């Protein structure tokens, strides 16, 4: 029945969706300032808005032992004011209706503002001022305040949230002490508390330099004006030393690690995680397609078996968490009342074994690829997403135009290639199985 439904879905999608014969691209111009700042310009006059997006090639993977959390700490400090605009960064931008934020991951830190077209000079000036002149405005009071804010954020996001510690426990067991992905991006309390002004200044001077940054401007602007503004505001910031990025050998687990934890949670839940190929490496796209086969829709393999037929799980999801040094493939499920997470793992393994032996069907992979394609194209409707994608490609691959190669790797996925990645990476031994159960009396 499942295969028939997937085939029917594939036929419907093919009839209703025009599959592009040529890869979709994002028009852009790419150049470099004398100080090493990468600049990417992409005109899009569909709305009177412009996105300023700045990536720094630094994430928590680049932190030193005993000084974790610095990359995320600077995401906060960058909003506390700089020498020529020493006040809350949000205030002048929010007055003009801007969209402002920043994010940190293992691999990078980014900041972005979406502003009305006529306010591009303000957004660029403010970004340049905090890159070139943040440290003169950084005080002990600001540092201590933001250290406290980040530590409280760790409590809210991880320690006091149901299942919040799952991410910490997973990565502590997937990667050994000292590995760049062993500690979550937010860092450890003791490291943040011990951070001194000299520590954070040294981190900023190392990583927040123009030659370690990529600026993309996407939306309603005139290129000549944008170039002049970028040169005016960023051109005088001196180039720094080229920072050295961490490299590690891929982690290989040779046995299954079963971890059982209790916490203030309402249900029994389980995570199964494997180390997998890095972002853009061979197999990365295949695992994205596998996720759709396993858990997208009521006819997907795991949903049908665990939730609909056997009714041993309340929910199930699977995803490839892609990262630059190494990725992680994660399946998580919540046990239904009267059932255990061990039962859930057994049924997940049964489905995994079926796919290992027989592979998914061509129809399943075809539908999954079309779903991916629809989501990919939908993402390009936003100028914010386009600006961020250009920066992502440039920072990680060195090519802002990597979008065509990105699409090609998904188009190349087949049922056989999905089966091959299951056989090579989703083994019953090289993984972490994390069970989290309610505390006694919960």
Kindly state whether residues 253 and 230 are assigned to the same domain. no
Kindly state whether residues 287 and 174 are assigned to the same domain. no
At residue 233, does pLDDT exceed 90? yes
Kindly state whether residues 206 and 61 are assigned to the same domain. yes
What are 35-62's pLDDT values in tens digits?
999 999 999 999 999 999 999 999 999 9
Kindly state whether residues 335 and 426 are assigned to the same domain. yes
Q: What is the pLDDT of residue 70?
A: 96
Kindly state whether residues 224 and 283 are assigned to the same domain. no
Q: Is residue 5 part of a domain?
A: no
Assign 3-class secondary structure to the chain: CHHHHHHHHHHHHHHHCCCCCCCCCCCCEEEECCCCCEEEEEECCCCCEEEEEEEECCCHHHCCCCCCCHHHHHHHHCCCCECCECCCCHHHHHCCCCEEEEEECCCCEEEEEEEEHHHHHHHHHHHHHHHHCCHHHCCHHHHHHHHHHHHHHHHHHHHCCCCCCHHHHHHHHHCCCCCCCCCCCCCCHHHHHHCCHHHHHHHHHHHCCHHHEEEEEEECCCHHHHHHHHHHHHCCCCCCCCCCCCCCCCCCCCCCEEEEEEECCCCCEEEEEEEECCCCCCCHHHHHHHHHHHHCCCCCHHHHHHHHHCCCEEEEEEEEECCCCCEEEEEEEEECCCCCHHHHHHHHHHHHHHHHHHCCCHHHHHHHHHHHHHHHHHHCCCHHHHHHHHHHHHHHHCCCCCHHHHHHHHHCCCHHHHHHHHHHHCCCCCCEEEEEEECCCC
Q: Is residue 241 part of a domain?
A: no
- Among residues 190, 206, 234, the one where a domain terminates is 234
Q: What is the pLDDT of residue 441?
A: 64
Kindly state whether residues 208 and 312 are assigned to the same domain. no
What are 66-75's pLDDT values in tens digits?
999 999 999 9
At residue 442, does pLDDT exceed 80? no
Domain around 309: 249-438
At residue 4, does pLDDT exceed 70? no
Average pLDDT for 366-394: 96
- Among residues 204, 234, 264, the one where a domain terminates is 234
Q: Is residue 20 part of a domain?
A: no
Kindly state whether residues 226 and 257 are assigned to the same domain. no
At residue 349, does pLDDT exceed 60? yes
- Among residues 234, 258, 276, the one where a domain terminates is 234
Band of the pLDDT at 185, cuts 50, 70, 90?
very high
Q: What is the pLDDT of residue 16?
A: 37
Q: Is residue 104 part of a domain?
A: yes
Q: Is residue 323 part of a domain?
A: yes
Band of the pLDDT at 23, cuts 50, 70, 90?
confident
Q: At 253, which CATH number?
A: 3.30.830.10
Kindly state whether residues 426 and 289 are assigned to the same domain. yes
Kindly state whether residues 294 and 222 are assigned to the same domain. no
Say how many domains are in the chain.
2
Q: Is residue 17 part of a domain?
A: no
Average pLDDT for 400-405: 97
Band of the pLDDT at 143, cuts 50, 70, 90?
very high
What are 380-389's pLDDT values in tens digits?
999 999 999 9
Kindly state whether residues 162 and 207 are assigned to the same domain. yes
């Amino acid at each position: 029945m499942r295969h028939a439904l997937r085939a029917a879905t594939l036929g419907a999608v093919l009839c209703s969706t025009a599959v592009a014969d040529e890869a979709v691209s994002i028009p852009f111009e790419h150049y470099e300032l004398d100080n090493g700042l990468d600049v990417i310009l992409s005109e899009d006059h569909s709305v009177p808005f412009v996105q300023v997006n700045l990536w720094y090639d630094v994430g928590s993977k680049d932190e030193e032992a005993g000084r974790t959390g610095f990359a995320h700490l600077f995401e906060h400090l960058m909003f506390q004011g700089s020498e020529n605009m020493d006040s809350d960064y949000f205030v002048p931008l929010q007055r003009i209706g801007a969209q402002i934020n920043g994010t940190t991951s293992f691999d990078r830190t980014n900041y972005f503002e979406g502003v009305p077209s006529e306010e591009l000079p303000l957004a660029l000036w403010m970004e340049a001022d905090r890159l070139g002149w943040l440290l003169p405005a950084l005080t002990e009071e600001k540092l201590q305040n933001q250290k406290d804010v980040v530590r409280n954020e760790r409590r809210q996001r991880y320690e006091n949230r149901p299942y919040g510690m799952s991410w910490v426990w997973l990565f502590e067991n997937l990667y050994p002490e000292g590995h760049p992905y062993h500690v979550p991006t937010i860092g450890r309390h003791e490291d943040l508390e011990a951070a001194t002004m000299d520590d954070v200044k040294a981190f900023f001077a190392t990583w927040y330099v123009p030659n370690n940054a990529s600026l993309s401007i996407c939306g309603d602007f005139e290129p000549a004006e944008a170039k002049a503004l970028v040169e005016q505001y960023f051109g005088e910031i001196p180039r720094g030393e080229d920072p050295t990025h961490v490299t590690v050998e891929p982690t290989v687990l040779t046995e299954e690690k079963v971890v059982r934890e209790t916490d203030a949670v309402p249900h029994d839940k389980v995570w199964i995680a494997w180390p997998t190929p890095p972002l853009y490496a061979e197999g990365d796209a295949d695992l994205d397609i596998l996720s759709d086969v396993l858990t997208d829709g009521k006819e997907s393999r795991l949903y049908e078996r665990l939730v609909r037929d056997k009714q041993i799980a309340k929910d199930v999801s699977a995803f490839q968490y892609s990262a630059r040094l190494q990725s992680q493939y994660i399946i998580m499920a919540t046990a239904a009342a009267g059932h255990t997470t061990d039962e859930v793992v057994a049924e997940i393994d049964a489905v995994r074994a079926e796919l290992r032996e027989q592979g998914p069907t061509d129809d399943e992979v075809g539908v999954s690829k079309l779903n991916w394609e629809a989501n990919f194209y939908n993402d390009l409707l936003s100028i914010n997403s386009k600006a961020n994608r250009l920066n992502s490609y440039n920072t990680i691959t060195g090519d802002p135009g990597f979008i065509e190669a990105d699409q090609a790797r998904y188009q190349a996925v087949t049922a056989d290639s999905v089966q091959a990645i299951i056989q090579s990476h989703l083994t019953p031994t090289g993984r972490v199985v994390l069970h989290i159960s309610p505390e006694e009396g919960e």
